[in-house]
Amino acid sequence: MCTCLFIQSKNTYFGRTLDLDDHFMEEVVITPRNFSVALRNGGNLQTKYAILGMASVLKDYPLYFDACNEKGLAMAGLHFCGNAVYFPPKAEKENLPTYEMMLYLLGNYTSVAELRPFLEKLNLSDTPFSPELPLAPLHFMIADEKECIVIEQTKEGLAVYENETGVMTNNPPFPHQLANLQKFANLTPKYKAPKKTEENVSFASVGYGSLGLPGDDTSPSRFVKAAFLQKTATKEKDEQGSITQFFHILDAVSMVKGSVLTETGAYDSTIYTSCMNTTKGIYYYKTYGNNQISAVRLTEDNCTAPFLTRYPLNLSQNICYHN
């Protein structure tokens, strides 16, 4: 369970929550230019552009959860269980398993417009990373400074959707999320005077314009709430204000440990929350155990390094004591 968010203000911001019941050795990882990997369905990839994001590294291979490249193209993969369908490699298609998607697209392309012809030929293949690591059921959100799209492959095939909401969560498929969102078209941030009861009891309060805004942890509810906040939140002009707003929006749809149990009885919680300034190449994040915002920058040194640059997460709470 996760929520992805895209905001365009003075700069472009893209990020997500990762809601899971366990950690996967995630860390902030920079893949440099000219990083070479063998593709599982044949051929090799040598990245043209450096990539910055959150990943688990296995056998020197960065398995990205979310990332952006040095040209400002950003991408995230979110859980899509029950609807994601992968097909065997097809000779007439460009075949990529989901774990190669971010490395390949961000390593090769600079914008959504540039990668669209490739997406028309794309098949998400059923090739696992290894026998011990089966494929995760995923769909993807991709954005640059001009546009945002969603990629989903179901039993009907691969589809690319325009995403004017700047939001993606999990199930159901994206068109159903948009249809459900229309039910809340009456919500507004504007002041509405509360009605009094027959007993003339006052319910004086602000916020009646958003009465009925969902607040539960289900994917459709998180989609509606994040879309409402994305549309109504003030767009700040400075960097600190912008990332503060971004994190506050995602905080509103984050999971508190103990509030959601999985089928196995484990606790789902927001493992980390990210916000990328894709214009400047900065990856901000905070973790469940540490509310302080940490940041990693793309620099020319790590863009040209001959290896992956890795930054372990700050997981312990940092508290500022005033006395």
Q: Is 4 a catalytic residue?
A: no
CB 288 within 8 Å of CB 271:
yes
**Separation between Cα atoms, residue 189 and residue 233, nearest integer Å:** 9
Query: How many CB atoms are closer than 10 A to CB 36?
Result: 8
d(CA 303, CA 256): 36
Residues in the chain: 323
Candidate list 2, 4, 68, 303, residue with the active-site label: 2
Cis peptide before 172 (omega within 30 of 0): yes
Distance of CA 78 to the CA centre of its chain: 7
- CA-based angle 9:15:16, to the nearest 5? 135
Task: Tell me the chain's radius of gyration from C-alpha atoms.
Answer: 20
Residues marked active site are found at 2
